[in-house]
Amino acid sequence: MHRLHFWENHPKKNRIPITWQKPPDDHFKLNIDGSFKPETDKGGTGRGIRNQSWQRITKFECKTKVDSVYHANLLALLHGLTIAKTKSIEKVLVETDSRVLLYSIYTDNALYSNICADCMSFLQQLEGPILHHTLREANGVADALAEYRRKTKDPTMIVNKLYIFDASPSFATNILE
């Protein structure tokens, strides 16, 4: 209740809007996010690749079994880098709202060493990829894709299958506007 009260009484001129920022002119931006519910071991990953004109290159998501939100974020990174490499996107700026992922990708992680090694291999193959932290509010599409995929009860949905969209899914349309 105090937070709401503060926000209502906080002067609008001091509010800073948090939005998606375009990448440098010669780069693409890969936004990634993972979602996890401990009670069910269900996870979801969401990613989107856009250019500096906000033109969508691709959006993709995957429902998966994971054991932590870090694991889901790590898989989101791996899937995103895989798609970037497959589409010959070499100059990529990767954004995530997971500081843990950014820190741990460069350190020894015995539990997920194979996934980390695959991510590092892709990062070395791409031309100067940059891993960057962003706030959740600026990572809305990837967050919505990951959450949606984790929650979906669609019986036709195959676990660990990567779904690629040509158009924005209806649930993400309001985030893009």
* Segments making up each domain of the chain, as ranges: 24-176
d(CA 168, CA 177): 11
Q: pLDDT tens, 81-95?
A: 988 888 888 888 888
Rg of the chain, C-alpha, whole Å: 17
- Give the pairing type, strands 162-165 and 56-65: antiparallel
Q: Among 7-11, 90-94, 116-120, 172-176, whose mean pLDDT is lowest?
A: 172-176
pLDDT over threshold 80, residue 156:
no
pLDDT in the model for residue 64: 74
pLDDT over threshold 80, residue 75:
yes
Q: pLDDT tens, 95-151?
A: 888 888 888 887 777 788 899 899 988 888 887 667 877 766 655 565 666 666 555
pLDDT over threshold 70, residue 15:
no
pLDDT over threshold 50, residue 67:
yes
pLDDT in the model for residue 4: 41
- Topology at the third CATH level for domain 24-176: Nucleotidyltransferase; domain 5 (3.30.420)
pLDDT over threshold 60, residue 162:
no
pLDDT in the model for residue 74: 92
- Give the pairing type, strands 42-51 and 28-37: antiparallel
